[in-house]
Amino acid sequence: GAVVSQHPSRVICKSGTSVKIECRSLDFQATTMFWYRQFPKKSLMLMATSNEGSKATYEQGVEKDKFLINHASLTLSTLTVTSAHPEDSSFYICSAWTSGTYEQYFGPGTRLTVT
Amino acid sequence: GNSVTQMEGPVTLSEEAFLTINCTYTATGYPSLFWYVQYPGEGLQLLLKATKADDKGSNKGFEATYRKETTSFHLEKGSVQVSDSAVYFCALSVPDYGNKLVFGAGTILRVKS
């Protein structure tokens, strides 16, 4: 149980385009989903917290107009990187939190490369 | 504030060696403590956790004890295997911090046969 999927696992896009990453909790309802960014050989940086049906809360320094987060249901959150640039290339990881276990369950991550 | 400090790596060990990865924390409330493992190219998996002082979390031969007096949660394993090679993250969560996880920098473990 407690499986979180992300799609796509890898994506390459051209500079200036937008890309959407989906995060789904497959067998539980997630009250809250978190989006992280991980740079090579670095720890995870929390980008934003999203609650179903409400606007995401962004961490300091994260551009909300660039990283659009939608949490349309208790099992789906999406992160859209708008007008992507090479510096946005990174590993993006989502997690889903459930009040059932008070734990976060992590997706496998999405490798974004902007050319 | 809330923060986690863990020993920098990489840590390189021979198979069957004893492993310790140190982790200390500061927290504004009463935290839950976690160890996550990340295998190459994958997301994070919860390895073990402890939610109150003196609790010992254990899984797959790894264990860590929540030490409130020393604000530590060191990860140990008696005999590592090559398959344990991964990045290990210590983390905490404080209830009044929106259930967010605060991660340490991660420690790369390399086990040689």
At A42, is the pLDDT very low, low, confident or very high (cuts 50, 70, 90)? confident
Are A44 and B108 an interchain contact pair (Cβ–Cβ within 8 Å)?
A: no
At B28, is the pLDDT very low, low, confident or very high (cuts 50, 70, 90)? confident
Please provide the distance, in angstroms rounded to a whole number, between the alpha carbons at the two ends of chain A.
37
* Mean pLDDT across B42-66: 94
Interface test with B, best of A4, A38, A44 (most B CBs within 10 A): A44
Which residue in the set A43, A97, A102 is minimally distant from B105, CB to CB? A43
**Residue whose tokens read 């003196």:** B54
Mean pLDDT score of chain B: 93
- Residue A39 pLDDT: 82
Contacts of B30 in chain A (CB under 8 A): none
Residue A75 identity (one-letter amino acid): T
DSSP three-state, residue B108: strand
B54 touches chain A (CB under 8 A): no
pLDDT over threshold 80, residue B95? no
* Mean pLDDT across B4-26: 95
CB–CB of A45/A51 below 8 Å? Answer: no
Classify burial at B103, counting beta carbons within 10 Å of its beta carbon; exposed 0-12, middle 13-18, buried 19 or more: buried
Are B101 and A104 an interchain contact pair (Cβ–Cβ within 8 Å)?
A: yes
* Mean pLDDT across B87-105: 88
pLDDT over threshold 90, residue A49? yes
Classify burial at B78, counting beta carbons within 10 Å of its beta carbon; exposed 0-12, middle 13-18, buried 19 or more: exposed
At A1, is the pLDDT very low, low, confident or very high (cuts 50, 70, 90)? low
Contacts of A102 in chain B (CB under 8 A): 32, 99
A70-100: pLDDT as tens digits: 988 889 999 999 999 999 999 999 999 888 7
B104 touches chain A (CB under 8 A): yes
Rounded-to-integer distance, Cα B99 and Cα B106, Å: 20
